Structure 1
Amino acid sequence: MKKSVLLYFLLLTTAACNKELGKLPENARVDGNTILDQRTSEIALNGVYYRFANIDASSNTTKWRDNELLPAMCAGYMGYGYGADPAEDNDNANSSYGSGPWTSAYQLINAANGVIEGVSALNDKAFTDNRKNGILAEARFLRAYGHFRLLSLYGEWWDKSSTYGILLRTDFITLSNISKKRSTVQESYDQILGDVNFAVDNAATTNPDYYVTKWAAMALKIRILMAYGDNAGAASLATDIIANSPYALEPNVKDIFYLKGLASKEVILGIQPQQNQSAYYYNLSSQYYPGASALYVAKQKLKDLYQNDPRQSWIIGSANAYAPGTYYFLKYIPQGTKATTVSETAYAFRLTEVYLLGAEAIIRSGGSITTAKNMVKEVMRHAGLTDFSVIDNATTTDDLLLQVYYETARSLTGEDGQEWMALLRQPFPTVQQLKPTITDKIQYIFPVPHNEFLQNPQFGDQNKGYQK
């Protein structure tokens, strides 16, 4: 664990002497001892969302870069515009991005644990309208999200018998409980599913789309079940969301990213920018175009994926002069424009993902191929396509799953990592064919950051193929 993370944990502990949490960014401090009633519980919960958005207190901007960029790098679709990062070639041990998700996920989890402990200790009578369970549901969703993100990037999620799970944190960190052993993969799934099931059962059905709902919890559970291998369960959840939720596919998907942002009826859970974030020179969409302190770009592989696809005209920009075979990535910001609140909005879950995961789950579980094909074609139709022959002509299960993967990459690259997970659910020979720099499954995940072993001697073994 990085020293900065340890310091963050200690600062959270020190914050226990405060009787009340303040406005953001101060309310990023979450400690059960500051939770006294429903009002302070709500303030503390906002602190967990603050960590979910990964807000940088110094600039007051959300930092969703590792969600949008790192998985797309690993899948070969995006890269660093001033020269390739090793993650682009799946040389994970030498990537400069590999430890970021570890830090941010544990900050999120610890903040959630502070709320869960503090709210659980209060009498039910301190809350109205069953809000106690609602707050706990949102906090447990966010803890599940953090733990699953860690499992998908640092644990052998594809092997339930593996001992290489994640370090589960279910207690608020103090000096006395920092040291802890990593859990098995099955234990990791059990904890994550326990949290997300509670969220499905207890979260509100309606909320602003930057807060958790029952539907967001169901969408997260679909991701988890797809990794876990419960395809029938994932298919059932997707069908439920599509049929019964208040969300609808955006008629023109481009409008989500260029016009509507969180106002789109497709967004299940998004990241709301901070006030005046678009004016900050080093915000994220400015790193896509024109490039500020960094430049994150689309690679030739992504441009090729959009061949004869109307999305190429607005997602892939002009060539980047600093790295051959790369292009401006314009999914969030049109070329020649400046950052806006909409361009700074990020997306954790959209209904498009539910359609595509649902289609994949139906195919894998032996369901109706016609239904699965229609779900994929519906996504394509909302992206402006009219020729569905690649879907109609897929005659084998493997061929159709490959086409679903391609559409997942076209639809979701640069959002929250689903292009990477969809690739890794393919048979290993297919993964190798699609991404030749992957020669071993150890490249599916990153090494546990070195400082974790320094600060936590009980952690256990480093991931296979990596050194402590």
Structure 2
Amino acid sequence: MKNVIYIYVALLGVITLMSTSCGKLDDIDPVFLLDADEAITNEGSADLALAAIYARFRTFDGTEMYAIPSLFSHVGQLEEGDNRPELNSYVANLPITTSGNIRMNEGGYANMYDVINNVNFLIQKVADIQVPFSTDTRKAEILAEARAMRALAHFYLLRLWGQFYDMNSEFGINIRTAPVISNEAFPRHTVAESYTAILEDLDNAIANAPEGKEKFFISRTAAKGLKAKVLLYMGNYNEAAMLAKDIIDNSAPEFALAPTHAELFDNTTEDILNNSELLFVTRGENNIVVGLGGTWGAAVIGNPDFVTLANTGSVIIGSQEITYDAPDNRMFNTFSEEGSGLKYVRRNTDDIIDVIYHLRMAEIYLIHAEADARANSSVTADALASLNTIRTRAGATTTGGDGFETYPDTMSLDQFLEAVRIEKSIELTTEVSEEWFDLVRYDFADGFGSGFQVSDIKATATNPDKFILPISPESIQNGGGVVKQNPSY
């Protein structure tokens, strides 16, 4: 089987896409294609192939994949003109396996495995390069960046198509660490095995990835942040908290909270790519509109309960009422009071720089807050400080009266964890859909069907089997049934 790498080149010579599969991608035709054995022969060609792998995270099917969990969680309905059965099935929390225009599920699944396969070819070929690199570390850096991309792709696959929340589950994903050179199908790994492979790649990136590059490349700090996020999902709270705290304490000024939340979404110029808030983003391109702005625009209407909660909701702590947000702050940049999508509406044009926020510093603070509290079974001073840092950045005061203020140290653990979840959903909603995975994690931590439940937030989300997506029946059939389908599909 010939190992073909498709390399798509923009007019200025910037690599934008690479795929081992055929099909329409962003309406850009390949300028040239090379056999893998000929394409990666030195540092320059390895760098080009690496850039193409990064770009695979911004293909159209890829960006739509990031939206599916937000349709699960905080989208109440679609606006007129986009009522495809597939989309409506996500909004209703009953994903379908077939429809007249099914693309988001199958397209995202295939795209992530394309990323993984391209990484595996790159690793194989870079290891064989005999000519010197420009520095003693660059070869290891390229391999580390590639492995971080493989880890992220495997992680995205696991949390959408695997029972990511249950370390004892057999329903992980198929982990691939070698190039696919045949049509042979392989069975799924367990969830624990899936996480082990993801962490191995991230540990390599933490040790060997470069620092000081643009935020649309993986750095050692970004790899550390991704590992903290993965550990939180695994329930390894102590290590997640330590990694997140290390980033908070030791990564400024290159990695630090931006002064305001709004500037991350109001700025649609090249400057956004240098914002200190960003740990890792996928860079869009002018006149292509591929990114979260192109995916979301203003085509969704928020779940009324969530919109109300974020716009006017509050919590009583002791005798004090504390609102979750204030007018014209974070929530205004996500949904209007009527529920229309706003967060990316200013990006839905063809003359801007669009980005996909894979990880930013606000999430690191919130990972630390939750993980530190869970690890210590109490609201520690450090955990509270991290949560209130996000509140203060959003405009909360520390006056101690009623209103949009910081949280007091009299919170119970349950109150604190719920506050973290809500603050995280307001802060990050519709970016890469972190709010949905938090709902599932919290539900599983209390035992599905007792305590906190996803259905408390999204009434239609009552079946835990439907909290993840079905693997394409066509993929299962083509593999001779070797790959086991998710329960209830």
Paired residue for 2:395, among 369, 384, 388?
384
Match of 2:212 in 1: 206
Paired residue for 1:196, among 175, 181, 202?
202
Distance 1:368 1:301 in 2: 27
1:376-430 deviations in Å (ceiling 9; x for gaps): 1111221223356573276321221111000010000111121111111212331
The answer (yes or no) to whether the contact 1:164–1:185 under 8 Å persists in 2 is yes
Farther-moved stretch of structure 1 (263-272 vs 305-314): 305-314
Structure 1 residues 16 and 212: CA distance shift in structure 2, 3 A = closer
Secondary structure of residue in 2 paired with 1:277? coil
Q: 5 Å matches for 1:293-332?
A: 295-308=299-312, 309=326, 310-317=329-336, 319=338, 327-332=339-344
Structure 1 residues 459 and 76: CA distance shift in structure 2, 3 A = farther
The answer (yes or no) to whether the contact 2:311–2:337 under 8 Å persists in 1 is no
Runs of 4+ displaced beyond 4 Å: 25-32, 286-289, 337-340, 387-390
Higher helix share: 1
Structure 1 residues 453 and 206: CA distance shift in structure 2, 3 A = same
Shift of 1:276: 2.4
**Higher normalized contact order (CA 8 Å, seq sep 6+, divided by chain length):** 1
Match of 1:408 in 2: 424
The answer (yes or no) to whether the contact 2:18–2:56 under 8 Å persists in 1 is no
Distance 2:96 2:414 in 1: 32
Paired residue for 1:37, among 30, 39, 42?
42
Q: Which one-letter code corresponds to 2:256 in the other structure?
A: A
Structure 1 residues 101 and 126: CA distance shift in structure 2, 3 A = same
The answer (yes or no) to whether the contact 1:92–1:98 under 8 Å persists in 2 is no
Paired residue for 1:446, among 459, 462, 469?
469
Structure 1 residues 191 and 332: CA distance shift in structure 2, 3 A = same
1:128-166 deviations in Å (ceiling 9; x for gaps): 231111001110000000101111111122222222110
The answer (yes or no) to whether the contact 2:73–2:458 under 8 Å persists in 1 is yes
Match of 2:264 in 1: 256
Match of 2:178 in 1: 171
The answer (yes or no) to whether the contact 1:305–1:410 under 8 Å persists in 2 is no
The number of residue pairs the alignment matches comes to 429
The answer (yes or no) to whether the contact 2:369–2:383 under 8 Å persists in 1 is yes
1:322-352 deviations in Å (ceiling 9; x for gaps): xxxxx321112349x845424x222111100
Distance 1:209 1:379 in 2: 21
Distance 1:455 1:170 in 2: 21
Distance 1:284 1:210 in 2: 15
Distance 1:86 1:332 in 2: 23
1:80-119 deviations in Å (ceiling 9; x for gaps): 3235711122102358533332122111111111111111
Q: Identical aligned pairs, as a percentage?
A: 28
1:183-207 deviations in Å (ceiling 9; x for gaps): 1112111111111111111111221
Q: Which one-letter code corresponds to 2:46 in the other structure?
A: S
Paired residue for 1:268, among 268, 275, 279?
279
The answer (yes or no) to whether the contact 1:203–1:213 under 8 Å persists in 2 is yes
Match of 2:366 in 1: 356
Match of 1:118 in 2: 125
Q: Which one-letter code corresponds to 1:74 in the other structure?
A: F
Match of 1:421 in 2: 437
1:160-189 deviations in Å (ceiling 9; x for gaps): 222211011111122x25421111112111
**1:24 has 2:31 as partner:** no
Structure 1 residues 406 and 171: CA distance shift in structure 2, 3 A = same
Q: Which one-letter code corresponds to 1:120 in the other structure?
A: A
Distance 1:393 1:440 in 2: 36
Distance 1:109 1:350 in 2: 23
Distance 1:296 1:358 in 2: 31
Please list every run of 5 or more consecutive structure 1 residues that lacks an aligned counterpart in the other structure.
Answer: 1-9, 57-62, 320-326
Secondary structure of residue in 1 paired with 2:158? helix
Q: Which one-letter code corresponds to 1:400 in the other structure?
A: F
